[in-house]
A = this chain, B = another copy of it.
Amino acid sequence: MSIAVELRHIRYFIAVAEERNFTRAAARLGIGQPPLSAQIKDLEAEIGTQLFHRVAHGAELTEAGEAFLAAVKPLPEEAAAAIRAARRAARGEIGQLSVGLTGTAALNPLFPAVIRSFRRSYPDVELRIVEANSVVLLASLVEGRLDVAVLRPAESDPADLREERLIDEPLVAALPAAHPAARKPAEKTSEGLDLSTLREEPFILTPRSVGTSLHDAALAACRKVGFEPRLGPPASQIASILSLVAAEFGVSLVPASLSELNVPGVAFRRLSAPEPCVGLVVAYRKHRPPPLALNFARVARAIASA
């Protein structure tokens, strides 16, 4: 016999309590007075006590009614807030977003600009930024530990990720400062360095196990100009590469944005055309990407194309 209490009962009850009058409350609710009386009656039966004293000129709250009113008053607004929260989450306006970032992307000025813009557009999103190598990033994306990542693409990237190219970035030579090829860059009109002049140098690259993209791009560039590079000691992070170059263990090919860095003992030289390039993409799962990931990708594309 016990009828479940519904938000409808609570809304009706609050209306009557506020109007202190069934008829006016019914008008405010847009229903007739008899059904309103019936609903309140049901509610009272369920609670097991009167909530209103019916008097000639209206209805007054009983003690139980006062207690009930105090307790249920916030409920309709809480329900409405829940709906708003769900809608905002669906639009990707609230929630947590885990952004992965590969080492060389972190050094590109694009990335801080994207983050700045995203935070301005979505101030209520909790951002978590994780830096890791491409292999880790891709695995984390696929397994859901990351929602989106900015990284350098490779053909071997999982097929169930969507990658949107943000920019293409030329590779430049990173040379020990004392290297003969490092001398020339004084003139502005200087042509790019001919990569083949580095054919005898050991190349410092990241091991293929932590990211195929840069590794393969560097190899491909060398092969294109006719030599198979000799590999120097591997370096798993971009900072290590530059350190090894500075220590004259060899040369390297790195994204142009790294030439902004002033690393003592390292000189950067652009290469002569055709410059080899590596891309920078924003990646997320094709399957049910979080709305926030899509929003992040959109912001990133907007910044990249600006």
Residues of A in contact with B (beta carbons under 8 Å apart) = 4-8, 10, 46-51, 53, 62-68, 70-72, 74-75, 78-79, 81-83, 85-90, 92, 94-95, 288, 290-292
Contacts and interface: CB of A to CB of B under 8 A. Distances in A.
Contacts of A290: 63
A142 B51 CA distance: 22
A83 B50 CA distance: 12
A63 B92 contact: yes
Contacts of A71: 78, 81-82, 85-86
A140 to B, nearest CB: 18
19 contacts: A5-B83, A47-B83, A48-B90, A50-B90, A53-B288, A63-B292, A64-B89, A65-B86, A66-B95, A67-B86, A67-B94, A67-B95, A68-B85, A70-B85, A72-B82, A74-B78, A75-B75, A75-B78, A75-B82
A89 B65 CA distance: 8
B85 A5 contact: no
Contacts of A74: 78
Most B Cβ at <10 Å: residue of A10, A83, A87: A83
A64 B82 CA distance: 10
Most B Cβ at <10 Å: residue of A50, A85, A86: A86
Most B Cβ at <10 Å: residue of A5, A81, A82, A292: A82
Nearest to A66: B89
A5 B88 contact: no
A95 B89 CA distance: 40
Contact of A67 (B46, B79, B88): B88
B86 A291 contact: no
Nearest to A92: B63
Most B Cβ at <10 Å: residue of A47, A63, A64, A66: A63
Nearest to A49: B90
Nearest to A97: B63
Contacts of A86: 47, 49, 51, 64-65, 67-68, 71
A8 B79 CA distance: 12
Given A10-B79, A63-B292, A47 B87 contact: yes
Nearest to A63: B89
Given A71-B78, A89-B67, A83 B46 contact: yes
A75 B83 contact: no
B79 A72 contact: yes
Nearest to A60: B288
Given A4-B7, A6-B7, A8-B4, A83 B95 contact: no
